[in-house]
Amino acid sequence: MTRTQLIVGAAVLSISSFVLGFAVARPQQPTGKSSDNRSKPLDQVAMRALADSLNKDKPWMNLEDVPENIKAVFKPTAPPQSFESEAAALEFIQYEAARKEFELRLLQFKVGRGTLDVLLSSAKRRMHSQLRLSKAKDERIEFCTAYEDAMDYIWFLLRKRYEVATMSEQDLHQARYAQIEAHLALSQVKAE
């Protein structure tokens, strides 16, 4: 196994832990039989069950009411069988982290949690990491179109909140700027 494959394997494992809700094994109560109180690590099935139980009380942790065209932004890219360099492996790991961060931040934002600035920053990181990873023009156009749709969706959410006076006018303008920036990114990719 090459060093790059080991790095990717470790990163996938760490991202899996992040996705599973930071499931951490808790130390067992001392029984007096042994001086080693540490518990054994949870297996993948136990970690998934723990993560599912933690998310039951969070109805915002789903994409059911997010429009279909926006779900394409969250679609993961399959990792290649091998990476040409360590830098390529790290770019993929960075992409996965940005993808998941944006998904979770948008899901929180749509129910009124989180700030617009952090959401838009995560969206920008998501866009840049995807564009660095995508080599084919049609993949880049497909992603930029989905990204533009996501910015339209954020604009829609903010517009509704602004109409009922739960968002400020400057937030509305910040979202409008991000929406136009997404449109320009799509135009640039099409012009390449």
Q: pLDDT digits over 93-105, tens only?
A: 898 899 899 988 9
State yes or no: pLDDT of 108 exceeds 90.
Answer: no
State yes or no: pLDDT of 135 exceeds 90.
Answer: no
Residue 188 Cα to chain centre, angstroms: 24
Q: Quickly list H helices, 20-114.
A: 44-55, 68-74, 86-109
State yes or no: pLDDT of 64 exceeds 70.
Answer: no
Tally of residues, the chain:
192
Q: Where exactly are the structural domains of the chain? A: 64-191
DSSP for residue 64: T
d(CA 90, CA 50): 29
Q: Beta-carbon neighbour count of residue 39 at 10 Å? A: 12
What confidence tier does 82 reach under pLDDT thresholds 50, 70, 90? Answer: confident
| Closest to 96 measured CA to CA, from 165, 16, 32 | 16
State yes or no: pLDDT of 88 exceeds 90.
Answer: no
Reported pTM: 0.61
